[in-house]
Amino acid sequence: MQAETSAHRQPAPRIRDRDALAEIAQELRRQVIRMVALSGHGYVQQGLGAADLFATLYFSELRLDPNDPAWPDRDRLLLSTAHNTAIFYATLAARGCIAADALATYTQDGSPLEVNASERIGPAIEATCGSLGQGLSVAVGMALSHRRRGRDARVYVILGDGEMQEGQVWEAAMAAGSHRLSNLCLLLDDNKMQVAGHVDSVIDMNPIADKWRSFGFRVEAIDGNDIGELLAALGRARDFAEGPTCIIASTLVGKGAPSLEGVLGHTMRLPPELARQALQELSGDAR
């Protein structure tokens, strides 16, 4: 009965067409530029790189109801890299989970749309993950709760590759593998960038896949900017009933704007002329 109710509550067919999802991702990238340009600096590169992840998750994968964001049987998404909010808020607005006009207040004094996503916004934000490394721990608790309550809701986490340097991540990973949480899917945004520069120049985390396997995760590595690969990997994660899945999604920072692609800038200045150039570059073919 619960599965029937969950299916009934899905407000619209999920988008499976790759070109349609690519167009959504490209518009999300343009929105990231517009939002960060309001202050002239911020988290541009991560947002552009992760746009395909967010578009695929929110418009194809997640079971949710924008009209009832607190629906108990919804799928949950935890943004562990909680500072990567320009793309997060842009996606929530495009999906109808928050008001689109709120984006104009991004990072302004008094706005709930803070640099780090917090529950001040409402139930569209599942948890405040202000300190890096916390998201997977919260997700493990949610996944356990769903299983014990007999809910078929799934829990997704977007984790940054630099976050793997936090010990709490591996405590959570150990718990997830031990409990065989097949309703948990981790997406590692492998963009090779953290605040101090290239991830490998800080701490070399390789071999990444072997580490997650050793903690009980089914692991696969994909191109995180290829929507077809994302759709297929998420489908395999849903079908895997033996434990949690880790999808290592390699993404290109600044994706879609040639003037920004590959530029390592954890927070970067975005003066008006650069914002205009990036928007022009992002106005081309979304595919």
What residue spans define the domains of the chain? 2-281
Q: Please determine, for residue 4, whether its predicted confidence score (pLDDT) is greater than 50.
A: no
Per-residue pLDDT of 195-235, as tens digits, reads 777 888 889 999 999 999 999 999 999 999 999 999 999 99
Which fold is adopted by the domain 2-281? Answer: Rossmann fold (3.40.50)
Strands 193-194 and 197-198: antiparallel
Q: Which two tokens stand for residue 100?
A: 């689109």
Higher pLDDT, 26 or 201: 26
Angle between helices 272-281 and 18-37 (to 10 degrees): 170
Q: Which of 230, 246, 223 is nearest to 60 (CA)?
A: 230
Reduce the DSSP state of residue 268 to 3 states and report it. Answer: strand
Q: What is the pTM of this model?
A: 0.93
Is residue 241 exposed (0-12), middle (13-18) or buried (19+ Cβ within 10 Å)?
A: exposed
The whole-number average pLDDT for the span 29-47 is 95
Q: Which of 258, 195, 262, 250 is nearest to 222 (CA)?
A: 250
Which one is predicted more confidently, 74 or 199?
74
Check pLDDT > 60 for residue 5.
no
